[in-house]
Amino acid sequence: MAHDGDALTWQDAGKVDEYVERVGRLAARAAGDAELVESLPAVVDRVLDLGCGDGRLLEVALRARPAATTAVGLDNSPPMIERARQRFQGDDRVRISHHDLRHDLPALGRFDVVVSGFAIHHLDHERKRALFREVAAVLRPGGVFANLEVVRCATPALQDEFYRRIERPGGDPEDVLAGVDEQLAWMRDAALVDVDCYWRWRGFALLVGRAADVRSGSSASV
Ligand SMILES: C[S@@+](CC[C@H](N)C(=O)[O-])C[C@H]1O[C@@H](n2cnc3c(N)ncnc32)[C@H](O)[C@@H]1O
């Protein structure tokens, strides 16, 4: 079934407005955010959000780790960037920058946490894989990549049911969905450790991995 917003893209305020209002009402979204907080390291100084949208996930992370000094959000949607900048107006810790994730990450230094919320599934699979390698490279030892994502369901019927339950019948034409297992494999290929799906509700999943802590040589501190 076609959706009213099918012709729109993330560059359009209409799609952004519809998304922010709808997803803000979803209990499963709030549950995913809460699980993401559980995956954060105890101490976080610098956090990066890929496809930050209106900044919701950055705010969740900053509320959970208020001692953080730096938060960077990247997105390529002007209306989303505008919303995120409004959200963090006056907060000197936060910088929201225009960046197209189809291209290499800009030089931003290293991070304790890289988060992403429902964004990376808009990239083609090869770019997803490359981005996971870039994420691993910008994480400090022991740093965490927490990717709250839209993933492919096991069958077309389950996919349809998921889209119905998130009030997006037929799905988003901009989705390029991958399954959980293949994405976990790509994260391991990127040299992340302790990689797993920490939480799942239908087509929402929290995929988490960690940069090995070279100081301890350990991969088992979660
Ligand atoms: C479903 S929204 C999620 C927004 C927010 N991260 C959240 O957790 O609610 C997808 C976001 O990914 C962004 N996005 C999609 N493709 C992108 C790209 N190639 N480069 C940067 N951002 C992109 C969109 O602009 C949008 O803000």
pLDDT tops 60 at residue 1: no
Question: CA–CA distance from 69 to each of 38, 44, 46, 50, 66 (Å)?
Answer: 20, 8, 6, 18, 8
pLDDT for the residue numbered 180:
98
Q: Report the percentage of the chain scoring pLDDT > 70.
A: 94
- Given a contact cutoff of 8 angstroms between Cβ atoms, the answer to whether 6 and 14 are in contact is no
The confidence score (pLDDT) of residue 58 equals 98
28-69: pLDDT as tens digits: 999 999 999 999 999 999 999 999 999 999 999 999 999 999
Angle at 28 between CA 136 and CA 155, to 5 degrees: 80
CA of 17 to the centre of ligand 1 (A): 13
Residue 148 Cα: closest atom of ligand 1: 8
Confidence of residue 81 (pLDDT cuts 50, 70, 90): very high
- The rounded Å distance from CA 185 to ligand 1 centre is 23
Residue 162's pLDDT is 98
pLDDT at 5: 52
Q: How far is CA 90 from CA 46, 52, 58, 67, 93, in A?
A: 18, 18, 15, 16, 9
Structure confidence at residue 9 as a pLDDT band (50, 70, 90): very high
Q: Measured from the CB, is residue 193 less than 6 Å from ligand 1?
A: no
- Is the pLDDT assigned to residue 115 strictly greater than 50? yes
pLDDT of the residue at 221: 43
Judged on CB neighbours under 10 Å (0-12, 13-18, 19+), 220 is: exposed
pLDDT (tens digit per residue) in 86-107: 999 999 999 999 999 999 999 9
Residue 217 has pLDDT above 90, yes or no: no
Query: Which residue puts its alpha carbon closest to atom 7 of ligand 1?
Result: 117
- What is the pLDDT, as a whole number, of residue 216? 55
pTM of this structure = 0.94
Mean pLDDT over each residue of the chain, to the nearest integer: 94
Helix (H) or strand (E) holding 50: strand 46-50
> Which atom of ligand 1 is closest in space to residue 11's alpha carbon?
25
Written as six digits, the tokens of 41 are 């390291």
Predicted confidence at residue 214, as pLDDT, reads: 75
CA distance 48 to 71: 6
Residue 220 has pLDDT above 50, yes or no: no
